């Protein structure tokens, strides 16, 4: 008859009490009873009998205590029945339970939830700026209608107000994106929110099913296995859905030139999509670790089979991780190709090659129409950054728009989206100079760093804007600089 945890505790305590009582009981009624209330020492044969009885009870208590310990370790409550497998072999039950706890994790949604909130904030701010531009254009139109003479062009005789030109001028002035830009962002965001809605519905369905299983009248071992399977299957789907959401957002950010956030999102998509393969390896590895002693006692052929299973699971995970990482890189490089994180390598490569060929044609056409170049008549592919972003980057870099346009996209992205990191380094320079550290040593550390040359030039220029270069004959004693360390931007050069 199956016992509950509470019954097992009670039975164990009763047997322990019996053992204690047996060990302290007097030998009343024996031939050694004096009748005067005293209890003489027992004979050696009686002592041996008593010790045998105590040992027998203790032998019964020991497995009960082991079963109780395993029941408590595996989280069984007092009202739950002890599974038959636990009663039969507590050690094996505990080992199997530990392996069962190696679960496919529910996806970390903080990455894409944070990006969705960021995009919504960006759109709200952009729409507010657009409303301001619309108001100023309306005021201009009213002013033009009132005094057309102000807009009269003596050279052409044109007295029309070019509203679109004025809009473009104001968008540049306020650093605003175009209306088309926000229309596309809203449309893309709607697709992401539809995916998120499906994700949340899957979570709700999983939780409802698990709740129903908890109410089922059945052995706890049976219910536990069913719940593990339900949770595992649901989390596999959730990880795939999360991968799709992160991929969509990564594409959105790559298309607007925000490579750092795009890289973070694609990395999370890769992690989500390969979660089930990592779980399969973790389960086999944990099984081998937990059952190490028993496995070592097997025949060599049996040990080899188990080892091969673990190695196969590891190689499968590593292969899938490498393939998915390669696909993620293609998504970042060709964000307009429509590549999915679930595509095969062949399909992803095919889609990427189509876009690459289109870009090559565009390069050749652009080079031919502009009269050719010394390098073979082609020019670079059109930058992924908008005019407004490029204006912002040039202003941050302190260079002309033409000089900024000549930079590679990775460096442009730092000046456009990475000024927070640059400002941190500038602050470190301020502190180093304030501490009277040797500015030439600071310059050397910047120049020896691994950051792009334009970034290093920018920081060196800033350094000498806040301190004077020491003269060749200067003997001032200064501290040796130890402040600078290159940073990782988190983006990829396209």
Give the pLDDT of residue 401.
76
Alpha-carbon distance of 34 to 41, in angstroms, equals: 11
pTM of the model as a whole = 0.55
* DSSP structure class, residue 407: S
Which pLDDT does position 489 carry in this prediction? 45
Largest separation between any pair of C-alpha atoms in the chain: 141
- DSSP summary character for residue 467: S
User: Residue 366, exposed/middle/buried by CB under 10 A (0-12, 13-18, 19+)?
Assistant: middle
Answer yes or no: are the C-beta atoms of 192 and 248 closer than 8 Å: yes
Residue 477: the pLDDT is: 47
Task: Give helix 220-255 / helix 300-333 axis angle, nearest 10°.
Answer: 30
Instruction: Give the other-Cβ count within 10 Å of 116's Cβ.
Output: 17
Local mean pLDDT, 10-residue blocks, the chain (494 residues) = 62 64 51 46 66 70 73 68 74 70 73 85 82 83 66 50 75 70 85 92 92 83 83 91 94 86 92 92 86 88 90 93 93 91 92 83 56 38 62 82 81 82 87 88 85 87 86 50 44 38
């Amino acid at each position: 008859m199956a016992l509950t945890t509470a019954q097992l505790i009670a039975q164990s305590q009763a047997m322990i009490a019996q053992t204690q009582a047996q060990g302290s009981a007097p030998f009343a009624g024996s031939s050694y009873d004096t009748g005067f209330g005293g209890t003489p020492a027992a004979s050696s044969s009686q002592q041996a009998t008593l010790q045998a009885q105590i040992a027998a009870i203790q032998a019964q208590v020991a497995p009960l205590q082991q079963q109780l310990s395993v029941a408590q370790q595996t989280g069984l409550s007092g009202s739950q029945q002890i599974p038959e497998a636990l009663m039969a072999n507590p050690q094996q039950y505990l080992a199997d339970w530990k392996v069962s706890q190696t679960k496919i994790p529910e996806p970390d949604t903080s990455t894409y939830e944070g990006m969705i909130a960021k995009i919504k904030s960006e759109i709200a701010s952009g729409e507010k700026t657009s409303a301001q531009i619309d108001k100023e254009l309306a005021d201009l139109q009213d002013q033009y209608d009132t005094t057309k003479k102000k807009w009269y062009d003596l050279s052409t005789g044109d007295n029309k107000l070019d509203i679109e030109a004025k809009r473009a001028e104001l968008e540049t002035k306020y650093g605003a994106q175009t209306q088309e830009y926000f229309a596309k962002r809203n449309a893309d965001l709607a697709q992401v929110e539809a995916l998120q809605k499906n994700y949340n519905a899957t979570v709700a369905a999983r939780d409802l099913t698990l709740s129903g299983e908890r109410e089922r009248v059945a052995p706890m071992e049976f219910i536990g296995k069913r719940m593990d399977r339900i949770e595992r299957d649901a989390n596999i789907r959730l990880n795939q859905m999360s991968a799709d959401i992160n991929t969509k957002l990564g594409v959105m950010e790559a298309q607007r030139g925000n490579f750092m956030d795009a890289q973070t999102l694609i990395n999370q998509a890769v992690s989500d999509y390969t979660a089930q393969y990592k779980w399969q390896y973790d389960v086999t590895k944990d099984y081998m670790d937990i059952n190490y002693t028993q496995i070592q006692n097997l025949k060599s052929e049996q040990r080899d089979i188990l080892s091969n299973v673990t190695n196969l699971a590891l190689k499968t995970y590593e292969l899938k991780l490498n393939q998915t990482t390669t696909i993620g890189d293609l998504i970042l490089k060709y964000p307009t190709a429509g590549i999915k994180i679930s595509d095969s390598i062949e399909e992803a490569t095919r889609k990427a090659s189509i876009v690459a060929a289109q870009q090559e044609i565009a390069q050749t056409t652009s080079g031919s129409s502009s009269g050719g170049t010394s390098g073979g008549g082609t020019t670079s592919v059109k930058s992924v950054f908008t005019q407004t972003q490029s204006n912002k980057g040039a202003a941050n870099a302190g260079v002309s728009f033409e000089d900024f346009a000549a930079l590679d996209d990775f460096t442009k992205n730092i000046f456009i989206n990475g000024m927070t990191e640059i400002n941190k380094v500038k602050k470190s320079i301020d502190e180093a100079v304030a501490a009277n550290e040797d500015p030439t040593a600071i310059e050397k550390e910047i120049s020896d760093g691994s950051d792009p040359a334009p970034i290093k030039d920018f920081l060196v220029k800033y350094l000498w804007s806040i301190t004077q270069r020491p003269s060749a004959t200067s003997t001032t004693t200064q501290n040796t600089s130890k402040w600078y360390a290159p940073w990782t931007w988190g983006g990829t050069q396209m």
